[in-house]
Amino acid sequence: MALTPEEIQRYKRHLLLHAVGGQGQAKLKAARVLVVGAGGLGSPLLLYLAAAGVGTLGIIDDDTVSLDNLQRQVIHTTASIGMDKVESARETIAHLNPHVAVETFDVRLDAANAADIISRFDIVADGSDNFATRYLVSDACFFAGRTLVHAAVGPFDGYLTTLKPFARTADGTLYPSYRCLFPEAPPPGTVPSCSEAGVLGSVVGVVGTLQATEVIKEITGVGDSLAGRILLYDAKEPRFETVRVGWDPENPLTGLEPAIFDLSVHRISPEGVPAETD
């Protein structure tokens, strides 16, 4: 996909990188990336992917901008309060890089729409803040054969990984799935949300920016993939650590005796609670 003269000037610093160059930038322009959540992680993700020249960004989020979002959700502004997050993010991206097409989904991702939405994109970046959505996104990406760059944060820490459970390592072993890393969600109430425990805004920025970098690497083929590894970040130390993770033959999605064959496992119970980890 050819670059225009204006794009050549805009992406000049990328074009100077031997590992990226014109071919890599053309891959970015042709890419379609879905970002799940336009919040803390989604903000740096969307900003850096747009600035990098990803041709089409999908944004899915059913929330509106509130004042307490602005401490970390830097894609939104004070003037955005009350707006749908997807529309606020679309406006910011349009100002940052008019060459990027934005497709918005002002809905909550669920078992009924996940397969259709995710199949429209080449790669998915998950910035959601709850386990139900994380399991749903990872399962849907597996069935669609889409690479998933996943991240999560705590008050002063975070982690990220790349998931390709439909692919195999050099020795023929499957790459791990999200269910290999987290066989089941923790009991309700045991892991406080950021609205309960708080979160340092800049920590979300660090992890979201690292996540954007891994998406760009997957698109361009630069460097080594994080598939099969988790990158841990501790802001208090400060410290980065990389841990290798492997395929779990007992996991219910890609194990030796799989029990999950479609997204119906993510049905909503009569009480309104997602039942994806039953």
Q: At what angle do helices 201-220 and 42-52 cross, to 10 degrees?
A: 40
The tokens for 258 are 């799989």
Q: Which residues contact 169 (CB under 8 A, 6 or more apart)?
A: 175, 228
| Active-site residue flag, 141 | no
Among 50, 65, 86, 194, the active-site one is 194
Q: How far is CA 238 from the centre of its chain?
A: 24
Residues 6+ away with beta carbon under 8 Å from 251? 177, 179, 180, 183
Torsion of CA 133, 259, 263, 277, to 10 degrees: -30
Question: Contact, 90 vs 51, CB < 8 A?
Answer: no
DSSP 38-107: SSTTHHHHHHHHHHHT-SEEEEE---B--GGGTTT-TT--GGGTTSBHHHHHHHHHHHH-TT-EEEEE-S
- Counting DSSP H helices and E strands in the chain, the numbers are 10, 8
**For the chain, what is the radius of gyration of the CA atoms?**
18
Could you please report the per-residue DSSP string of 221-243? T-S---BTEEEEEETTTTEEEEE
Q: H-helix or E-strand containing 180?
A: helix 178-181
What residues are annotated to the active site? Answer: 194
